[in-house]
Amino acid sequence: MPVPHLETARASLASLGFTVAPDAVHPFGTENACIFFSDGTYIEPLGIAEREVCEVQAIAGNVFVAHDQAYRFRRGVPGFEGLAFASDDALADRGRFERAGIADGEILEFRRLARSPDGSEAELGFRLAFARDRRAPDLSLFACEPIHRFKPDRSALTGHPNGTTGIRRVVMSEPNPTDFQYLLQEVVGERSILADGFGFSIETGNVTIEVASPDALGLRYGAARDGERGLRIEGLVLGTRDLSAVEDHCRRAGAPATRLGERLVVRLGSASGAFLAFERV
């Protein structure tokens, strides 16, 4: 989730009732302040810590940074530029992507410090394997394998005042959704889909990916999409134990929120049209 400034994004997301983790800096010039959920999913607000480092890394072939820069240029921020899939073996995933003809760039391996709310620090390591369809320049997909030898304790970060428990659906859109069915089947490793006249959905294990036509996007989420082709992420559907708590936070924050049936849709106020939708669980 690229944002213009991490400090501003932290304040905005906290005002919506999220618990935001301490800032963490990547060795390639970006920084994040994640929102972790009890179901293991997370949102990664991504900022620019050192622009010059990012530019050098992008030129050197760092796919993560290069895509982030391209998305910021093309779509604006905040928005949703990519989707990370939990992996036990990113090298094997890389081989799978190569065989399917969708591999992008080289494996990215890095380590960074993570700070807990109590101030303690630990080094985390990750290995990323990227997939891409060049018809979808605004979407990054990658497998993410933790390579540290311990499981971080994030229990203090997964409780949220707005009652959110996790990501239920990732909402993507495309004028002809099934043109990207093969891409998602290969990345997810799942052949079964649920299709209708408005698009299709595919299960990833703990989250559903919903690929909607522009009409479906408008009907379900009140969102508009231009006619430009290419698969992209429009928003996230989050589960909450208390929808009224979300509404209260939005009202106090002055955030634009709309009720669509049993769903509350919050606009992120950006040119990209990105949104967060909340449903009771």
At CA 132, angle to CA 229 and CA 187, rounded to 5?
110
Would you tell me how many other CB atoms lie within 10 Å of the CB of residue 150? 9
Tell me what pLDDT residue 263 has.
96
Q: Which whole-number Å values give the CA distances from 119 to 21, 96, 115, 149, in the listed order?
A: 11, 40, 6, 20
| Residue 270 burial by Cβ neighbours in a 10 Å radius (0-12, 13-18, 19+) | middle
169-208 b/e (C-beta count within 10 Å ≥ 16 → b): bbbbbbeebebbbebbebbbeeeebeeeebbbbbebeebb
Tell me what pLDDT residue 115 has.
75
Q: Can you tell me which residue has the tokens 């060049």?
A: 134
pLDDT band (50, 70, 90) for residue 71:
very high
Please say whether the beta carbons of 130 and 187 come within 8 A: no
Which domains occur in the chain, in start order?
Answer: 6-146 (3.10.180.10), 164-280 (3.10.180.10)
Q: Which whole-number Å values give the CA distances from 11 to 5, 14, 132, in the listed order?
A: 10, 5, 33
Predicted confidence (pLDDT) per residue in 199-242, tens digit: 999 999 899 999 999 999 999 999 999 889 999 999 999 999 99
- Read off the pLDDT of each residue in 75-102 and give the average, rounded to a whole number: 96
- Which of 176, 232, 180 has its CA nearest to residue 202? 180
Q: Is the peptide bond prior to 45 cis by the omega test (within 30 degrees of 0)? A: no
- 21: which 2 tokens? 């983790």
Predicted confidence (pLDDT) per residue in 144-163, tens digit: 999 988 788 889 999 999 99
Tell me what pLDDT residue 226 has.
84
Report residue 51 CA to chain centroid gap: 22
What does the mean pLDDT of the chain come to? Answer: 94
- Read off the pLDDT of each residue in 77-103 and give the average, rounded to a whole number: 96
Strands 232-240 and 275-280: parallel
Tell me what pLDDT residue 50 has.
97
pLDDT band (50, 70, 90) for residue 113:
confident
Q: SS3 of 42, please?
A: strand
